[in-house]
Amino acid sequence: MSMPVQKVLICTVGHDVENKTDWPADRTVFSALRNHQFDRLVALVSRKDLDCVTVAKLKGFFKERPGKLEIVAIDTSDFFVAYQAIQRVLGANAPHMLCIDISGGEKVLAATAVFCAFNNGIAVFHNEAETFTRLPIIRGFSVFVAYTDDQQRIVSAIKGKMTLQALYKMMAREGMDEEAVKDGLCYLKKKDVGIVESWSEKGRTKVVLTEKGLVLKKLLPKKVAERKASIEKEDVGGEAEAAQST
């Protein structure tokens, strides 16, 4: 049975060392809770901020509401690790109505969340010093919409310069036949698409991602199954269990 669609509020939370206003860090997060309707809250917290006052207050706030709070620890020391972690959160919650509030937490976390939101078409809000801002983002418009699932899988699979045969083998293991790979590559190699380049070397066809292709590979969210699994294993861990069991 499919899960009913929920309103999921994703907030950046943490200790903001550079908070330039008189607002304490927790006040920005609690103002987000006040400003948005939601069924469930996902708090994105920098790993180093997991013990901060705001997180403790959030746990207290949701104490009597099990399952309503999910705390996801994000490693913000590497922008791309943080980016993929947030992509996984968005992917795992994809069936639901999502919105992101970046009022709380550190700036790098907010910047990463905004970047993800632009790429995935998720509404973003910010509230600070009584100024409420909604970023102009077309909801539901993802930059990945230009590529089919098969094409995205091919891009994710290409590693360096590889032979076409090796790519066929790799994709076959994922259940994609040669025809589907050929179709996908045909589109990705088009001049105006420019994601993959191919050439012949010693009688063998080789493929490589272009610069644009490498960018796409970096941005592409991982498969839903992987995203869900990794969230359960890596990001949430004990924190989520603790939060949800309260």
Partner 1 sequence: MKVAIATLGWHTEYLTPMFGEVDGIQKVVFYWGFKDKADYKAKTLKSVEEMSGILDDMSVKYEAKHLDDIFDFKYIVNTIKTDIEKEKKAGNEVVLIDIAGGTKIMVAAALMVALFKGIPAIYCDEETKDAVRLPLLGFKYKAGLTDREKEVLKFIIDYKDPEELSQTRLAKLLDVEKGTINPQVQSLYKKGAVSLVQSKDGRSKIVKAVEGIDLLLEFEG
Q: Interface with partner 1 by CB under 8 A: which residues?
A: 18, 20-22, 77-80, 102, 107-108, 110-111, 114-115, 118-119, 121, 123-124, 126, 128-129, 131, 133-141, 143, 146, 212, 214-216, 218-219
- In the bound state with partner 1, the residue whose beta carbon lies nearer, of 136 and 203, is 136
Q: Give the CA dihedral 215, 220, 226, 228, nearest 10 degrees.
A: 130
In angstroms, give the least distance from the CB of 169 to partner 1.
28
Helices and strands in the chain, H and E counts: 10, 9
> Distances in Å between the alpha carbon of 239 and those of 115, 134, 153, 195?
25, 30, 32, 39
- In the bound state with partner 1, the residue whose beta carbon lies nearer, of 121 and 237, is 121
**In this structure, which amino acid lies at residue 155?**
V
> Distances in Å between the alpha carbon of 168 and those of 43, 152, 162, 175, 195?
40, 15, 10, 10, 18
In angstroms, give the least distance from the CB of 12 to partner 1.
9
User: Can you read off the two tokens belonging to residue 131?
Assistant: 């100024």
211 membership: H or E segment, kind and range: helix 211-219
- In the bound state with partner 1, the residue whose beta carbon lies nearer, of 144 and 168, is 144
In angstroms, give the least distance from the CB of 105 to partner 1.
9
**In this structure, which amino acid lies at residue 157?**
A
In angstroms, give the least distance from the CB of 131 to partner 1.
4
In angstroms, give the least distance from the CB of 184 to partner 1.
18
- In the bound state with partner 1, the residue whose beta carbon lies nearer, of 201 and 211, is 211
Instruction: Count Cβ neighbours within 10 Å for each residue of 146-173 and write b for 16 or more, e otherwise.
Output: ebeebbbbbbebbeeebebeebeebbee
- In the bound state with partner 1, the residue whose beta carbon lies nearer, of 30 and 115, is 115
